[in-house]
Each structure stands twice: as C-alpha cells, then as structure tokens.
C-alpha cells in the first residue's frame, strides 16, 4: 500500500464519521504518540488498541466536553480491515513522522472544518429571531453539508427538545405524585426510602412538581434507546433516518416505559407503523410525530397567537443545545492547541 491508498482509507473514515469525529481523532492521537513518544509499534495493535481510547478521550473532553460512549466492539471497528488496520497505520505513520505530523494536522483540519459548519448553525440562530427563523431553512444547513448529514438525528434531538420543552413550560403543566392512603403502614415501614426517593413522608403523602422534558445527552451510533424522557412518564426516540425491523425492536425492547413517542420523516411513518405491528409493539407507542408536524408546530410557536411566551424560548433552547452538544463550534481553545502542536505551519500537496 502506498500513501495515496492509505490516505483514501483515512478519508473514508473521516467522511463516514459522525460530527464529533471520535474515530479520526483516535487515529490522530495514535500517530502523535508514535511520532513524539515512540513507545508504540504501529504494526502491533496490542500496543495501542485500548490505551489509544484514553488519548482520544483527553482531546474529546477538552474540545467536545464528552467522549465516545459506544460499545468497545463498535469503537474497535476502527481497526478492521475495511477501516484503518495496523497495515494502513504503518504507512500513515511513516509519512507522518517524515513530515513532522502532517497526517495529524490533516485530521485536525478536518475536525475544524466540521465544526465551522456547526458554527453556521450557531450563526443562523444568532441572526434570526422568532419573526424570521424558519425550521426548514435551519434543517437545510445540515442536509447541504455531507459531513453533518450523518448526525441529522442529533440535530433533530435538539430541534424537538427546544420546541417540546418550551411548549410544556408555557402550558405550566404540573405533575402530581400521590400514594394510596390505604398503604400508610407500608409508608411507615419504608419512611426513609419514601422520603429520599419519592419525597413522600408520613405527613405529606402528595407532592406536585413542574413537568419537564429532558435530553439524555450523549448518544451515538451504537446506542439503542431513548433520546429524551419526561417526568410525566413519556420517553421520546428520534429516528429521522430509516428504521429497520431490528432497530425498531431494539428501541422498544430496551425501554421499559409504555409511552413512547417516535419522531421521524413523513415518508417513514407508514413503514414504522407497519414494522411495529409486525413485531407486536404498536401498543407501546403513544404517538408518531413527523417532520410535517414539527414544521407546523414551529410556525405556531414562533409566529402564532401565543408566540410571545413561547417563540423566544424555542430559539433560546435551540441555541443553548447547539453550544452544549457542539462546544468546539464556539471554542477558540482549539486553535491554540492547533498552533501549539505546530500544525498551522505544515503544508503538503498530498495532505490538502
């Protein structure tokens, strides 16, 4: 294998990577370690397979505020023959050493480019308010960028959360938790449990709390399960890409709640209903929300009769979620790191 073929293998991984680029960053840190510490052997996977995850996580925590939570098997896929096996790393490493970190610089430039695309989303929210924000325009920012398209489910999580949370707050919904007075003896026996876990006591057997929708947070390709949950018994799964029978079964079987909302494309709705009926899980689905529903609800929230208490909150929620999910899109520290390693001074006709 020559360097051009090795670069093609690396480019394939970068293109396929979701927005956070965990796997390419892991490759960059393996190459950095090989170049600077010289204490690993690129041809011997055992010298870096596991420890390289820690090197990657240090970088990811610094610039993303998170690290990969995928299964070990999924993370190790990076070293498969159809990805970046040791034979490819040997070729990349030789070129990287000879050119003082050029391959590392290339990967981190791609990382910077990906997050500059996210800055566009930040910019759209900053330059638009409830009078001119259009959901379809916002979504198009991501569909038009190949590097962000694979993370569209993550974008939809933020879109859905921003809207649902704002409307639930505006409705001033209250959740009441109470117990059966006939079970007073059990409450007395487990008073310490009830007080610590349920917040009920012998003198207070009923509490009221504001309704809230919460995002689970970090999710990724290997995850199966909920994306959001509510303290009134609801869980929400975002599935904007195609839903297979296996994934549908995984989603429902891995969630114990019996009130599940699925958010999907309009064109997927009938397929999803059919799949859920086939596997006998339709009764667990409370409702299916489509992109068309979101467009209508966003329009009402931003410019409808009650846009005053809701519209600004939707934009604020969305802006905050983007910054939380993609902190590097607004992080000058990354450029300091890039310069400290000397990447800004490296150029090469192959690594453009």
Question: pLDDT per residue over 3-22, tens digit each?
Answer: 999 999 999 999 887 777 89
| Number of folded domains that form the chain | 3
* Domain final residue pick, 210, 234, 264: 210
Asked whether residue 212 carries a pLDDT value surpassing 60, the answer given is yes
pLDDT band at residue 69 using 50, 70 and 90 as cut-offs: confident
pLDDT band at residue 48 using 50, 70 and 90 as cut-offs: very high
If asked whether residues 228 and 284 sit together in one domain, one would say: yes
Residue 266 included in any domain: yes
Going from the C-alpha of 273 to that of each of 98, 186, 233, 287, 340, the distances in angstroms are 56, 42, 22, 10, 53
Q: Calculate mean pLDDT across residues 251-259.
A: 58
- Listed residue (317, 316, 263) closest to 291, CA to CA: 263
Q: Which conformational region is residue 287 in: left (phi greater than 0), alpha (psi within -120 to 50 degrees), or beta?
A: beta
If asked whether residues 242 and 146 sit together in one domain, one would say: yes
Looking up residue 258, the CATH number of its domain turns out to be 3.40.1350
- Listed residue (242, 230, 76) closest to 153, CA to CA: 242
The pLDDT score that the predictor gives to residue 29 is 98
The pLDDT score that the predictor gives to residue 220 is 42
pLDDT band at residue 221 using 50, 70 and 90 as cut-offs: very low
If asked whether residues 87 and 232 sit together in one domain, one would say: no
If asked whether residues 153 and 88 sit together in one domain, one would say: no
Answer yes or no: are the C-beta atoms of 162 and 314 closer than 8 Å.
yes
DSSP string, 276-297: HHHTT-GGGEEEEEEHHHHHHH
Neighbouring C-alpha atoms within 13 Å toward the C-beta of 291: 17
- Listed residue (77, 103, 87, 98) closest to 7, CA to CA: 103
Q: Which of 148-157, 174-183, 279-288 has the highest mean pLDDT?
A: 174-183
If asked whether residues 151 and 242 sit together in one domain, one would say: yes
Asked whether residue 139 carries a pLDDT value surpassing 60, the answer given is yes
The reported pTM is 0.73
* Domain final residue pick, 164, 194, 210: 210
Q: Which of 79-93, 103-117, 143-157 has the highest mean pLDDT?
A: 79-93
Exposed, middle or buried, 224 (CB in 10 Å: 0-12/13-18/19+)? middle
The pLDDT score that the predictor gives to residue 288 is 84
Asked whether residue 240 carries a pLDDT value surpassing 60, the answer given is no
If asked whether residues 217 and 187 sit together in one domain, one would say: no
Q: What are phi and psi of 129, to 5 degrees?
A: -125, -170
Q: Calculate mean pLDDT across residues 137-151.
A: 73
pLDDT top residue among 229 and 164: 164
Distance between CA atoms of 13 and 18, rounded to whole angstroms?
Answer: 10
If asked whether residues 202 and 224 sit together in one domain, one would say: no
If asked whether residues 222 and 309 sit together in one domain, one would say: yes
Q: Calculate mean pLDDT across residues 121-142.
A: 89
Residue 181 included in any domain: yes
Residue 270 included in any domain: yes
Window from 16-20, 195-199, 321-325 with minimum mean pLDDT: 16-20
| Rg, C-alpha atoms of the chain | 24
Cβ contacts of 51 within 8 Å, gap of 6 or more = none
Q: What is the 3-state secondary structure (H, E, C) of 200-254?
A: CCCCCCEEEEECCEEECCCCCCCCCCCCEEECCCCEEEECCCCCCHHHHHHHHHC
How large a percentage of the chain has pLDDT more than 90? 51
Neighbouring C-alpha atoms within 13 Å toward the C-beta of 4: 1
If asked whether residues 148 and 229 sit together in one domain, one would say: yes
Asked whether residue 254 carries a pLDDT value surpassing 60, the answer given is no
3-class DSSP state of 99: coil
Q: Calculate mean pLDDT across residues 282-295.
A: 83
Q: What are phi and psi of 37, to 5 degrees?
A: -95, -30
If asked whether residues 189 and 281 sit together in one domain, one would say: no
Asked whether residue 98 carries a pLDDT value surpassing 50, the answer given is yes
Residue 285 included in any domain: yes
pLDDT top residue among 269 and 204: 204
Residue 23 included in any domain: yes
Residue 144 domain boundaries:
129-173+212-327
pLDDT top residue among 26 and 60: 26
pLDDT band at residue 224 using 50, 70 and 90 as cut-offs: very low
Residue 277 included in any domain: yes
pLDDT band at residue 340 using 50, 70 and 90 as cut-offs: very high
pLDDT band at residue 218 using 50, 70 and 90 as cut-offs: very low
If asked whether residues 257 and 321 sit together in one domain, one would say: yes
Asked whether residue 157 carries a pLDDT value surpassing 90, the answer given is no
The pLDDT score that the predictor gives to residue 255 is 55
Q: Which of 31-45, 62-76, 216-230 has the highest mean pLDDT?
A: 31-45
Q: Calculate mean pLDDT across residues 191-205.
A: 91
If asked whether residues 19 and 149 sit together in one domain, one would say: no
* Domain final residue pick, 185, 210, 235: 210
The pLDDT score that the predictor gives to residue 331 is 66
Residue 59 included in any domain: yes
Q: Calculate mean pLDDT across residues 310-320.
A: 94
Residue 332 included in any domain: no
């Amino acid at each position: 294998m020559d360097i051009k073929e090795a670069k093609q293998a690396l480019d394939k991984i970068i293109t396929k990577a979701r927005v956070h680029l965990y796997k390419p960053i892991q490759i960059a840190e393996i190459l950095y370690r090989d170049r600077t510490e010289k204490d690993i052997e690129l041809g011997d996977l055992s010298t870096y397979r596991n420890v390289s995850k820690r090197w990657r996580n240090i970088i990811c925590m610094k610039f993303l505020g998170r690290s990969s939570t995928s299964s070990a098997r999924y993370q190790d896929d990076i070293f498969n023959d159809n990805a970046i096996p040791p034979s490819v790393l040997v070729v990349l490493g030789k070129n990287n050493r000879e050119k003082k970190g050029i391959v590392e610089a290339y990967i981190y430039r791609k990382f910077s480019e990906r997050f500059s695309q996210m800055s566009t989303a930040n910019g759209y929210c900053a330059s638009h308010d409830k009078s001119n924000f259009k959901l379809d325009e916002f979504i198009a920012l991501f569909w038009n960028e190949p590097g962000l398209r694979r993370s569209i489910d993550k974008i939809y999580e933020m879109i859905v959360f921003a809207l649902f949370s704002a409307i639930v707050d505006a409705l001033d919904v209250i959740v009441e938790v109470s117990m059966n007075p006939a079970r007073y003896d059990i409450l007395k026996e487990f008073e310490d449990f009830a007080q610590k876990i349920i917040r009920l006591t012998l003198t207070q057997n009923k509490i009221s709390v504001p309704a809230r929708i919460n995002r689970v947070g970090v999710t990724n390709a290997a995850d199966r399960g909920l994306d959001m949950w509510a303290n009134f018994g609801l869980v929400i799964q975002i599935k904007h890409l195609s839903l297979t029978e296996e994934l549908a079964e995984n989603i429902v079987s891995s969630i114990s709640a019996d009130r599940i909302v699925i958010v999907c494309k309009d064109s997927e709705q009938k397929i999803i209903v059919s799949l859920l009926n086939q596997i006998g899980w339709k009764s667990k689905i409370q409702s299916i929300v489509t992109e068309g529903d979101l467009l209508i609800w966003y329009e009402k929230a931003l410019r409808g009769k009650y846009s005053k208490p809701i519209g600004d909150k939707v934009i604020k929620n969305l802006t905050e979620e983007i910054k939380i999910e993609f902190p590097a899109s607004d992080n000058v520290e990354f450029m300091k790191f890039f310069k400290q390693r000397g990447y800004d001074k490296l150029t090469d006709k192959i690594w453009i």
